[in-house]
Amino acid sequence: MTFLAKISLRTLAATFALGAMPLSFAQISDAELDSIFDRLNGDDFAARYAARMDLQDEVSAATAPGKEAQQAIVEQQLLERLQSEPLLTTKLWILRQIESIGSEAAIPQLRQLVDSGDGELAKGARMAMDRIVPPPQPEPPPYEGLSASELADLARNAPNRSIRYRAFMQLSKQDAKAAAAVMLDAEASAAEFIRIAMNSSSSLLRREALAQLDSPKVSHQIAVLGALSEKLPQSVEKSLLRLLESENETLELQTIEALGRAGTARSLQALLSRIEARSRDLRDAAADALAAIPDSKIDRSLRKMLKRGAVEERVLALKALSLRASPGVNRLVNAYAADSDLDNPLREEAISNMELVGDVDSFPILVDIVLNEAQSGLRRDAQKTLKRMSLRLADPDAAWAAFEQGFAASEGDVDTQLALLLVSDAAPNAEAIAFLKSLWNAEDPRFRKTLLRVLPAWRNWDGGFALLELAAASDESQGLQDQCFAGIGKLILGSDATYPMDVKFELAAAALDQAKNPRQRQSVITGFRYSTWRERVHVTYNEVDPELKEAVLEYAKD
C-alpha cells in the first residue's frame, strides 16, 4: 500500500490546497491513530494515560524540527478526529495537541466549538485559539514611574485584579510602610497582598503580614500559613497554637503542618491530642508534624510519659515515639511486645508499631506471639504485623529463619502450625516453598486447605509454580487439581508490576500445557481478565502462547 492510500481524502485535499505535500512523508499512520484512540476511549486508566502520552509523542515526532512541512497534515488529522471522537475527555486531549502545532487554518473549526454551548469543550477550544493566535493584551500602566500614593490608590481601587496585584507588588518594593497600610485596609485582595508581603525583602512588611496570624479573619490567617517559608522562626509557635482552637478544619490542617516546621516541645500535647482524631486528615497531619519537629525534648517527654503515665497515656506515648522513629524505639517496641506481664493495650500498640519501626529482631517475637498467645487476643495482631512489616523490611530470609524455628517448636500442634502457616507468605523464599510442599505431601486436609489459601497470595511467581507441582502430584478425583489451577489464576489476577511480566506468561503457558480439563484452562485464562496495557503490549510484541494472546486482546475490548 502506498502512502497516498493511507491518507484520507480530506487530509489530501487540505494538504494540496496548502501546497504542503512533502517529498518525504511523516504523517501519523491511521493504524497508529486507531490504536491510540481505541485506548483513549477504553476503561483502563493506565491504558488511557499511556495512550495520551503516545499521542503526544507521535504529534511531537511528526512535527519535529526539520519536518515543518508535515504540520498541516498532522493538524488536519487531529481536526478530523476532533470532529469524530465521541468522548469529551478525548476531545480535550486532542485540543491540547492542536494548541502545540495548530495554525490559523484550525480557527474556524475551533470557533464552532467555542459557540457550541458545551462549556468544557468551549473552554478547551478557546484556550487552543488563544495559543494559536494570542489575543491582543492591553498595555499595562508604567508602574515603575508611579509614586507611592498613586500605586496605593491603584492597589486599593483599580477594578482589574491584575492591576491591583501588580500595583501592590511594585509598592511593596518602593515603600514597605505604605504597602503595609494598604495590605491592612484591603478587602477583596487582602489574601493576595498578604502572600506578596510574606515573600517581600522588607522585614517590616513581612512582620506586618505575619501579625495577621492573630487576625480575626480566617482568610487572612490561611493566606499567611500558605505563604510561610520552609524555615520558620519559633516565635510564631504561640500564634500557631492559638489558631488550633479554630473550628475551621482547613485552617487547623495548615496550622498543624506549620507546627511541623516551627514547633517545639510546647506543641507536643496539641499534636498528641490529634494523632487519634476522628478525621483521617487531622490524624495524618498531626503524625507528620510530630515526626518532623527536631526538638529532642519531645522524645524525653514521651519517654517519661511512657514510664509514669496511665495506660492510655503510655499507649499514646509509644505511638508518638514510633511515629518520630526516635533512637532506640525499635528495641523498645520489641521489648514491650515480648513482655507478657505488660497490659495488653501497650503490647498491642507495640506490635502495631513494629510495622513502622520493627527490625529483623521483631520476626521471632511476632512468631512466638502467634505460637503462644492464642488466648491473649494478640495472635491476630501479630499475624497482621508479620505480613505488613515483612513488606517494608523485604528480607524473606530473616523472616523464614523465624518461621522455621516456629514450625519446629510447634511440631505436632496442628492448630498452632495452621495459624503460622496462614501468614507464611511473609517469608517468600525458596526454603519456605520447599517446606510448604512437604506439608502438602503429608496429606493432612487441614494443611492442604490452608496452603490453597496461602500460595495464591504469594509475593512472587514461586507460589504459582509450586501450585503447578502440587496439582501434578494430586489425585484428580479429589478436586485438588482444579483448586490448584484456580489458585494460579488468582495469583496471576492479583499480581502487580513487581512481578516479572515474562515469568507471568511462562507460568500461564506451563499451566495451560498441564491442564487436563476446560475448568483448569479457564481458571488460568480468567486470571488475565483485568489485563492492563502492559499485558497487551507484551503479547503484541513478544512470542507468547496463542491462546493467551487471544484472551488478553479479547479482554482488552471489554
pLDDT at 267 (0 to 100): 94
The predicted pLDDT at position 365 comes to 97
Q: How confident is the model at residue 140 (pLDDT cuts 50, 70, 90)?
A: low
Per-chain mean pLDDT for the chain: 87
Confidence of residue 57 (pLDDT cuts 50, 70, 90): confident
pLDDT at 477: 67
Contact at 8 Å (CB) between 433 and 406?
no
Average pLDDT of the segment spanning 435-451? 94
H helices within 145-217, ranges in order? 148-157, 161-174, 176-185, 190-198, 203-210
Report which residue type is found at 530: Y
Average of pLDDT values for 538-548? 89
Work out the average pLDDT over 534-547.
Answer: 89
> Taking residues 425-440, what's their average pLDDT?
96
Q: Residue 12: is its pLDDT beyond 50?
A: no
- Rounded to whole angstroms, how far apart are CA atoms 225 and 212? 10
Confidence of residue 137 (pLDDT cuts 50, 70, 90): low
pLDDT over threshold 50, residue 9: no
- Higher model confidence: residue 345 or residue 17? 345
| 3: CB partners within 8 A, 6+ apart | 25, 27
Residue of 67, 68, 75, 115 lying closest to 95 (CA atoms) = 75
Rounded mean pLDDT, 142-160: 87
Tell me how crowded residue 37 is: count the other CB atoms within 10 A of its CB: 19
pLDDT at 162 over 90: no
Q: What is the mean pLDDT of residues 545-558?
A: 85
Residue, of 8 and 323, whose pLDDT is higher:
323
Q: What is the pLDDT of residue 558?
A: 63
Q: Is the dihedral of CA 386, 391, 394, 400 positive or negative?
A: positive
Please give the average per-residue pLDDT across 186-196, as a whole number: 83
Q: Which residue has the higher pLDDT, 160 or 284?
A: 284
Residues 339 and 55: their CA atoms lie apart, in Å, by: 60
Mean pLDDT on 108-129: 85
Q: How confident is the model at residue 324 (pLDDT cuts 50, 70, 90)?
A: very high
What is the model's pLDDT at position 527? 94
CA–CA–CA angle 332, 334, 337 (5° rounding): 105
**What is the model's pLDDT at position 352?**
96
DSSP-derived letter for residue 542 is S
Can you tell me the distance from the alpha carbon of 441 to that of 451, in angstroms, rounded to the nearest whole number?
11
The pLDDT assigned to 1 comes to 36
Cell of 262: 516551627
Pair 133, 105: CB distance under 8 Å: no
Rounded mean pLDDT, 236-248: 88
CB-CB contact of 189 with 169 (8 Å): no
Share of residues in the chain with pLDDT > 70 (%): 93
List the single range of 20-29, 141-150, 219-228, 411-420 with lowest mean pLDDT. 20-29
Q: pLDDT class for 15, splitting at 50, 70, 90?
A: very low
For the cut 60, the answer to whether the pLDDT of residue 10 exceeds it is no
| Predicted pLDDT of residue 138 | 63
Q: What per-residue confidence (pLDDT) applies to 23?
A: 34
Highest mean pLDDT among 230-234, 308-312, 465-469: 465-469
Range list of H helices, 339-429: 344-357, 362-372, 379-393, 396-409, 414-421
Lowest-confidence region among 19-33, 55-69, 80-94, 156-170: 19-33
Which of 9-18, 402-411, 523-532 has the weakest average pLDDT? 9-18
Give, rounded to a whole angstrom, the gap between the first and last alpha carbons of the chain: 31
The predicted structure's pLDDT at residue 436 = 96
pLDDT of residue 486: 96
Q: Where are the beta strands (DSSP E) in 269-345?
A: none
Inter-residue contact 242 to 250 (CB < 8 Å):
no
Rounded Cα distance between 289 and 256, Å, is: 6
pTM for this predicted structure: 0.68
Tell me how many degrees the CA angle 332-333-334 measures, rounded to the nearest 5: 90
Comparing 160 with 436, which gets the higher pLDDT?
436
Residue 373 reports pLDDT greater than 70? yes
The pLDDT of residue 8: 41
What confidence tens digit (pLDDT) does each residue in 452-496 have? 999 999 999 999 999 999 999 887 666 899 999 999 999 999 999
Residue 427 DSSP label: S
Q: What phi and psi values does residue 237 have, to the nearest 5 degrees?
A: -60, -40
Evaluate if residue 85 carries a pLDDT over 50: yes
- How far is it, in rounded angstroms, from Cα 500 to Cα 460? 9
Q: Is the pLDDT of residue 22 over 80?
A: no
Question: How far is 466 from 460, CA to CA, in rounded Å?
Answer: 11
With bands split at pLDDT 50, 70 and 90, how would you rate the model's confidence at 16? very low
Residue located via cell numbers 517527654: 301
Contact 95, 87 (CB under 8 A): no
> What's the pLDDT band for 29 if we cut at 50, 70, 90?
confident
Tally the C-alpha atoms within 13 A of residue 340's C-alpha that lie toward its C-beta: 11
